[in-house]
Amino acid sequence: MSSSETFRPKSGLVLSGCTIVLSVLLIWSALLTGALGTTIAWSCAANILVYLIFIRPKIIYSDQGICIINPIEEITIGWSDITLVDAKWCMNISSTHGRFNAWAAPAPSRHHSKKIHSSELRGMDIHGHTSISPARSPKSESGIAVHMAQVRLANFRGESSEFIRSKSWGGATLLVVSVIAAIVLTMSGI
């Protein structure tokens, strides 16, 4: 039986919710004042962009491996192929197939490390360190994602999943079409 766990940052959901609310308010305003077609087109383009950047990226941990889903790419790596799980600007996985970054686990600013208390490091399997990088902080999205991957990697037993790397251009194509439509509608004054 394979158990899987999905990691997606909460901040992306909040930002996308704000974008949807602003889009609805803009469309309502355009309904009252005119230029409805242009406003709908630009709102669709903005919402597609926000989806690709904030909603689509996620990390799926399973017993066999890790699946990193970025805006236009999906990478599945088996635990036996992973050589290093780390974070600098975001969580990254080094494997026998290369190095891959996870958009879903961005690192915080360097000032974040000043807010970490030593009691927050309990249970994080960080021994002998007097300081850690902000990207490994248990309060940061990258730190949580790295810790989850390291726990799964340490507990790995059995069969590993195969390496799969695929591109998905559907969202990017939809974004380009909606931006072109918005530009055409803006220029025609609709």
Let me know if residue 114 belongs to a domain. Answer: no
Give the number of domains in the chain: 1
Please give the sequence-ordered ranges of beta strands (E in DSSP) within 65-190, or none if there are none.
65-69, 73-78, 82-87, 90-95, 98-106, 164-167
Q: What is the pLDDT of residue 46?
A: 94
Let me know if residue 120 belongs to a domain. Answer: no
Q: What is the pLDDT of residue 1?
A: 37
State the residue range of the domain holding 78: 5-108+131-188
Q: Which residues contact 96 (CB under 8 A, 6 or more apart)?
A: 81, 83
Let me know if residue 118 belongs to a domain. Answer: no
The CA–CA distances, whole Å, from 28 to 32, 34, 36, 181 equal 7, 10, 9, 20
Q: How far apart are CA 3 and CA 63, in angstroms?
A: 6
Q: What is the pLDDT of residue 112?
A: 52
Q: What is the pLDDT of residue 157?
A: 81
**What's the distance, Cα to Cα, between the start and end of the chain in Å?**
56
Q: What is the pLDDT of residue 40?
A: 92
Closest C-alpha to 47, from 19, 13, 25? 19
Long-range contacts of 43-51 (CB under 8 A, 24+ apart): 44/178, 44/182, 45/175, 45/178, 45/179, 45/181, 45/182, 46/19, 47/16, 47/19, 47/20, 47/23, 48/171, 48/174, 48/175, 48/178, 49/175, 50/15, 50/16, 50/19, 51/16, 51/171
Q: pLDDT tens string for the chain (190 positions)?
A: 368 899 998 888 899 999 999 999 999 999 988 888 899 999 999 999 999 999 999 999 998 899 999 999 999 999 989 999 988 888 999 999 999 999 999 888 665 555 555 555 566 555 555 566 777 777 788 888 998 998 888 888 877 778 888 888 888 899 999 999 999 988 887 6
Let me know if residue 180 belongs to a domain. Answer: yes
Let me know if residue 126 belongs to a domain. Answer: no
Task: Read off the tokens for 177.
Answer: 């079409």
Let me know if residue 117 belongs to a domain. Answer: no
Let me know if residue 113 belongs to a domain. Answer: no
Let me know if residue 99 belongs to a domain. Answer: yes
